[in-house]
Amino acid sequence: MLSPIAWRTPPRKYGPWELVTSLITEGLVKKGIDVTLFATADSVTGGKLHAVVPRPYEEDRSLDAKVCECLHISELFERAESFDLIHNNFDFLPLTYSKLTKTPVLTTIHGFSSPKILPVYKKYNDTNFYVSISNANRSPELNYIDTVYHGINMENFTYQKTPEDYLLFLGRIHHDKGASEAIQIARKAGKKLIMAGIIQDESYFKEQVEPFIDGTQVKFVGAVGPEMRDELLGKALGFIHSINFNEPFGLSVVEANACGTPVVAFNKGSMPEIISDGENGFLVNDVSSAADAISNLKTISRQRCRAIVEERFSQDKMVEKYLAVYRQIIGKND
């Protein structure tokens, strides 16, 4: 199992790719699968941990990211013959090593950071196996063995039957995630907004977010760990997901639902695959329609929100899907 090394696996706070890699790994280990996790040395796993990079390079800026990545990826592929299958969660770079081994390589495409990376995926299209994390995030130029939705550990998210009277924005403070729009929605709806997440774009934060933070109607709490994340999600009246890009999946949306919290999401990317309008949230097109939807949040069954995650987006569901993909790949290689 090849994890990214920007953050620890699992992450202390932020690190969605590392989080999913950890959930897959630990789910497989629980089912008795022999898994070696290639991640940072401070990572935590019930499987076998193999590491050459001491710490996440986003947490220790003295580390050179490119050097760490080269050492990390090559470490796995130099041992490739020891494994039945390599599951790559590291994006496109490991594909360039894949023809150097007979061990099959499965790559979960967590998203396309830019169209410029597509030529690498295309080059290895016929010799690798690709999984998409949503149907919306598929490229018509690639072949996919399956779509496997992300799953979460339900034990980490507490169902809250009775919420408090605030809205929550949880995500990167960046234009893509629509932090500014979330503020506009809350102000238009006349609701308190709590914002949590890492500041990924400092100028965007200073110009479009910080001027509205008053500690009363708009409160910013920064990056949060698992316990506070669970508390914020569960006590929220609603979760605002005002994205400005075609998001490949949206883990925070599922996490909110797991706590019983309905989601108001801009109808982009994978959102129609996660949100059933009127059932576990509302799909909207702009700030005005989002603000209107806030007044209807109490019509959504919080219990049903939780049930949908249990049915479709649990860790067990994800792991079972991946096991089926593994068997299919190994069967092709026999």
Domains of the chain are 16-151+314-333 (3.40.50.2000), 154-312 (3.40.50.2000)
Let me know: does 320 contact 327? Beta carbons within 8 Å.
no
DSSP helix/strand/coil, 331: helix
The pLDDT value recorded for residue 62 is: 96
Terminal-to-terminal C-alpha distance of the chain:
21
User: What is the spatial distance between Cα 189 and Cα 325, in angstroms, rounded to a whole number?
Assistant: 45
The alpha helices in the chain, defined as continuous H runs, are 16-30, 65-77, 118-123, 179-189, 202-204, 226-235, 251-258, 271-274, 287-294, 302-312, 315-333
Let me know: does 319 contact 151? Beta carbons within 8 Å.
yes
Over its length of 334 residues, how does the chain's per-residue pLDDT go in tens digits? 999 999 999 999 889 999 999 999 999 999 999 999 999 999 999 999 999 999 999 999 999 999 999 999 999 999 999 999 999 999 999 999 999 999 999 999 999 988 999 999 999 999 999 999 999 999 999 999 999 999 999 999 999 999 999 999 999 999 999 999 999 999 999 999 999 999 999 999 999 999 999 999 999 999 999 999 999 999 999 999 999 999 999 999 999 999 999 999 999 999 999 999 999 999 999 999 999 999 999 999 999 999 999 999 999 999 999 999 999 999 876 6
Q: How buried is residue 277: exposed, middle or buried, by Cβ count under 10 Å (0-12/13-18/19+)?
A: middle
Evaluate if pTM is beyond 0.85.
yes
Q: Which residues, including other chains, have CB under 8 Å from residue 181's CB and lie 6 or more apart?
A: 242, 244, 266, 287, 290
| Sign of the CA dihedral running 228, 229, 234, 237 | positive
Cα within 13 Å of Cα(316), Cβ side? 6
Beta bridge partners, 270, equal: none
Question: Would you put residue 278 in left (φ > 0), alpha (ψ -120 to 50) or beta?
Answer: left
Cis amide leading into 10 (omega within 30): yes
**Amino acid letter, residue 160:** Q
Q: How buried is residue 290: exposed, middle or buried, by Cβ count under 10 Å (0-12/13-18/19+)?
A: buried
User: What is the spatial distance between Cα 221 and Cα 141, in angstroms, rounded to a whole number?
Assistant: 41
Let me know: does 183 contact 209? Beta carbons within 8 Å.
yes
Compute CA distances 23 → 11, 17, 282, whole Å. 11, 10, 28
Q: How many residues in total does the chain contain?
A: 334
The pLDDT value recorded for residue 334 is: 60
The residue among 94, 90, 112, 119 whose CA lies nearest residue 104 is 94
